[in-house]
Amino acid sequence: MITTLWGAVRFQLAIARTSPDVLLILVRAPLMTMVLLSISEYSGRRDLAAGVVLAPVLMALWDMTLLIAGEVINRERSWGTLEALVATPARFFLVVLGRIGAVTTISMVSFAEAWLVARYGFGIHLTVVHGTVFVLCVLASGLAMAGTATLMSALFVLAPSARLMQNTLTYPFYLLAGVLVPVSMLPEWLRPLSSAVFLSWSAELLRQSLSPAPVPDAALSLAVIALLGLAGTLAGLLAVNRALRQARAAGTLSEV
């Protein structure tokens, strides 16, 4: 198991160095930070800086994991190696999880990018007041994101084109997670769905870790993030195995 995960991580890191899609996301994060901070500064709402800086970071994290969740399938299909990969003794789920985990780690660079843009581009110095909460939230969110993205990869196994699904699962997710706008601004009937999205808990906890005020129920929020991430991982394991069985039966593994 460990050997499979580590092998998948190393393979994905080697690919990521020359992947234009991965580089594009890392370039887009500071540009998005500049745009959002420009809007908040023009509106005279520097008090929203913490949330504004975190928004492009969380978007970059989800973009990156969703990209690889689809590209693992899409690229292997285009190379004609998906059937061979599935036929190997290594668990396909572990390969997907390891590769997604690798790019999730890479996307953490966006935290530094956003901080630098805020500091040197707008003179905004954000301080992590509750360091332990911040670090634990980032780690829990990264693991939850990698696990949840494996659930998406099951859909990509069955879908002839992963790109269409990738585009569909981005901005609706940001809205539900309260990344673009606060959850309180969503329609009342939609707000309960946000509680089922781990990123809504992550975004709120990260914002609180930058505030001087005490963080209420930090342990509860971390536990919810971990449980939702674990639920996504287990659902991903079951869904990937089921999707592979259906694709084998229908003979659609190699369809692009």
**pLDDT confidence tier of residue 255, bands split at 50, 70 and 90:** low
How many Å apart are CA 178 and CA 155, to the nearest integer?
24
For CA atoms 211, 193, 68, 60, the dihedral sign is negative
Mean pLDDT of 98-107: 80
**What's the mean per-residue pLDDT of the chain?**
80
Q: Which of 181, 159, 163 is nearest to 171 (CA)?
A: 181
Mean pLDDT of 25-53: 84
Residues of the chain with pLDDT > 90: what percent?
Answer: 7
Each residue's pLDDT tens digit, 111-150: 888 889 998 988 888 888 898 999 999 888 888 887 787 7
What is the DSSP code (8-state) at residue 107? T
CA distances from 207 to 93, 97, 113, 127 (A): 33, 28, 17, 11
Question: What pLDDT sits at residue 162?
Answer: 57
**pLDDT confidence tier of residue 224, bands split at 50, 70 and 90:** very high
Each residue's pLDDT tens digit, 43-84: 888 777 888 888 888 888 887 777 777 777 777 777 777 777
